[in-house]
Amino acid sequence: MKLYNTKSRSKEEFIPLQEGKLKLYACGPTVYNYFHIGNARAFIFFDVVRRYFEYLGYSVTYVQNITDIDDKIIDQAIAENKDFSKIADKYTTAFLKDCRSLGIKSPTHQPRATETMPQIIELIQTLETKGNAYEVDGDVYFDTASLPEYGYLSGKQIDDQMVGARVAENTAKRHPADFTLWKKSKPGEPFWQSPWGNGRPGWHTECVVMSQHYLGETFDIHGGGIDLVFPHHENENAQAMALTGKPLARYWMHNGFLNVDGEKMSKSLKNFFTTRDILKEYDAEAIRHFFLSKHYRSPIDFTRELIEESHKAIQNFYKALKDHKVQSLHEVNLIDTELISIEESFKDAMNDDFNTAKAMAILFDLSHKARNQSLNEDFRKQAAHLMLKLGAVLGFFQIDSKEQESKMPDITIALIDLILSYRTQARTDKNWQLSDKIRNDLHQLGIVIEDGPDGSSWSLR
């Protein structure tokens, strides 16, 4: 397996610290609002990383933090006139719910920053004792000049961090590049007691404590969006290097940006969408398909046309499974050499720095084979089984529509069939406006209509 390591700016062979085990940390949300569709890309991608290693037989420990104390949370608490903890709880609950809606598996551990305050204070004290941190009037800063390795990940040197557009002036700091480990609380703000007075931790320190607590001094993979390389991940790693003399992680993986209709997502441009907004319009698996159809390191442009294409692709996948009544992974028993070779091609794609775009093309090919009436029936069924198996590695096919349909009352099924018959008549009468309206209205209710040469059929999303 080759992974692109942000540290070296190149693909490197992946060698785990412990054979057969993966220790993975990916940055979670700061819970001050609903997370946006750009955040969803990182959450979905690292869910796939975790799933693929499990598919390969690894024992995976996946840690994702929740930042539940931060300036943004305090600002939101003021805006909503609520205690900061109420804001954090509200949006943590929303985050977990939206992740479930996206089909993201729960991490092995999901610690909150406020739960690790004693360990955070202990880490800062250690850095201060070692000469890597200093206190000024209740604020504690990391002394970047004390660490020759600063810039290990991003390549940025402290001499380049001069006061300007991107580095705010703070006369209390010895150097503009020095960053906050502990922040003195202002009147009315939440605080924890510490040797430096009442205050709260810096964001970079929280992640170091939470990752090392569960994964050790150095772990295999640290991930997040490309915007986190600097300063967040650089400053995390600096603290780890100062503490142990070793990097925090061996491989650093970062996904690319998401734009909307060719422009950076921004509330001022009115193109800012939360994941919750998008889930009201599109299937979770269509969103997953959209992201995975492009390589994770490439920027991606969010358009409704592309999401619609992803939706159609997912429906074709499910149709192939439905045609062969494939519902269980336990039924997979590949004997055809062509299909065995296809599974190896899937592994080759994923082993090449998680080339999910190529892996998706393999699923697409399998769906065509499964629905190709000119092929042998047993081969077609095996192709459908393999599509289910490999699709599950990418997080697809979590929707058991058959089970949902089996629980529907007979009267509900009869009503859907009746509405479908009205739509069929509208199509016969070439009343396309009414036909489309019925289809779209049913889609909003989670009912998918598929038109074919033998008529129309429906299924649940």
What are the DSSP calls for 137-206, one per residue? TTEEEE-GGG-TTTTTTT---GGG--SSSSS---TTSSSTT-EEEEEEPPTTS--B--TT-SEEE-HHHH
Judgement on whether residues 378 and 410 belong to the same structural domain of the protein: no
CB 384 within 8 A of CB 320: yes
End-of-domain residue from the set 202, 227, 259: 259
CA–CA separation, 451 vs 191, rounded Å? 60
- Residue 406 pLDDT: 52
In a domain, 298, yes or no: no
In a domain, 271, yes or no: no
Q: What is the pLDDT of residues 287-297, one digit of tens each?
A: 999 999 999 99
In a domain, 236, yes or no: yes
- Residue 262 pLDDT: 81
- Residue 163 pLDDT: 47
Considering only residues 171 and 60, tell me which one the structure prediction assigns the higher pLDDT: 60
CA–CA separation, 48 vs 292, rounded Å? 9
- Which sign does the torsion angle of CA 373, 376, 379, 385 carry? positive
Contacts of 263 (CB under 8 A, 6+ apart): 269, 271
- Residue 405 pLDDT: 55
Domain range for 433:
402-460
CA–CA separation, 4 vs 439, rounded Å? 44
In a domain, 293, yes or no: no
**Six token digits for residue 373:** 């009436």
Judgement on whether residues 347 and 237 belong to the same structural domain of the protein: no
Judgement on whether residues 370 and 415 belong to the same structural domain of the protein: no
Judgement on whether residues 324 and 205 belong to the same structural domain of the protein: no
pLDDT band at 353 (very low <50, low <70, confident <90, very high): very high
Judgement on whether residues 388 and 247 belong to the same structural domain of the protein: no
- Residue 161 pLDDT: 61
- Residue 165 pLDDT: 42
CA–CA separation, 115 vs 39, rounded Å? 23
Judgement on whether residues 246 and 147 belong to the same structural domain of the protein: yes
Determine the average pLDDT of the residues in 215-234: 97
CA–CA separation, 72 vs 88, rounded Å? 10
Contacts 24+ apart (CB under 8 A), 91-97: 91/29, 91/31, 91/32, 91/33, 91/34, 92/31, 92/66, 92/68, 94/31, 94/34, 94/276, 95/28, 95/29, 95/31, 95/34, 95/35, 95/66
- The DSSP 8-state label assigned to residue 375 in this structure reads S
- 3-state secondary structure at position 311: helix
Judgement on whether residues 380 and 417 belong to the same structural domain of the protein: no
Q: What is the percent of the chain where pLDDT is above 90?
A: 72
pLDDT band at 96 (very low <50, low <70, confident <90, very high): very high
**Six token digits for residue 276:** 């919750």
Determine the average pLDDT of the residues in 138-147: 97
Judgement on whether residues 80 and 217 belong to the same structural domain of the protein: yes
CA–CA separation, 134 vs 141, rounded Å? 6
Judgement on whether residues 447 and 394 belong to the same structural domain of the protein: no
**Six token digits for residue 148:** 């020759």
For the chain, what is the mean pLDDT? 90
In a domain, 370, yes or no: yes
In a domain, 266, yes or no: no
In a domain, 287, yes or no: no
- 3-state secondary structure at position 6: coil
CA–CA separation, 54 vs 49, rounded Å? 9
Judgement on whether residues 339 and 431 belong to the same structural domain of the protein: no
Contacts of 310 (CB under 8 A, 6+ apart): 286, 287, 289, 290, 293
Cis ω on the peptide bond leading into residue 148 (within 30° of 0)?
no
**Six token digits for residue 9:** 């700016």
In a domain, 110, yes or no: yes
pLDDT at 450 over 80: no
Q: How many domains does the chain have?
A: 3
CATH of residue 230's domain is 3.40.50.620
- Residue 408 pLDDT: 64
- Which sign does the torsion angle of CA 127, 128, 134, 135 carry? positive
End-of-domain residue from the set 259, 293, 315: 259
pLDDT band at 407 (very low <50, low <70, confident <90, very high): low
CA–CA separation, 260 vs 301, rounded Å? 6
Judgement on whether residues 382 and 431 belong to the same structural domain of the protein: no
For the chain, the residue count is 461
Helix axes 432-444, 410-428, angle to 10 degrees: 150
Judgement on whether residues 389 and 406 belong to the same structural domain of the protein: no
CB 309 within 8 A of CB 73: no
pLDDT at 28 over 60: yes
- Residue 449 pLDDT: 84
